[in-house]
Amino acid sequence: MEGCNWAGFEVNTGNLDLAGMLVCCSSISNSAFTSTGSVVTVRGTSRYNNANMVINFRAV
């Protein structure tokens, strides 16, 4: 993830043919995303394999 020092992830809440939002873990805590459909993709990455990621989700 370019621009993230240690860890980050990509969240895709819309058109899955396009890239999602690339965010650094330190800048995204306590944020909410709303999907335009019923599918959301999340891809995480970590340098040096030492990051923890917790994802909470709700379907309504």
Residue 58 lies in a domain: no
Total domains in the fold of the chain = 1
Residue 54 lies in a domain: no
Per-residue pLDDT at 21: 73
Q: Supply the pTM of this predicted model.
A: 0.60
CA-CA distance, 11 to 22, in Å (whole number)? Answer: 7
User: Does pLDDT of 3 surpass 60?
Assistant: yes
- Give residue 23's identity as a one-letter amino acid code: V
| pLDDT-based confidence at residue 25 (cuts at 50, 70, 90) | low
Residue percentage of the chain with pLDDT more than 90: 0
User: Does pLDDT of 1 surpass 70?
Assistant: no
Residue 17 lies in a domain: yes
Q: For residue 47, report the phi and psi dihedrals to the nearest 5 degrees.
A: -85, 140
Residue percentage of the chain with pLDDT more than 70: 83
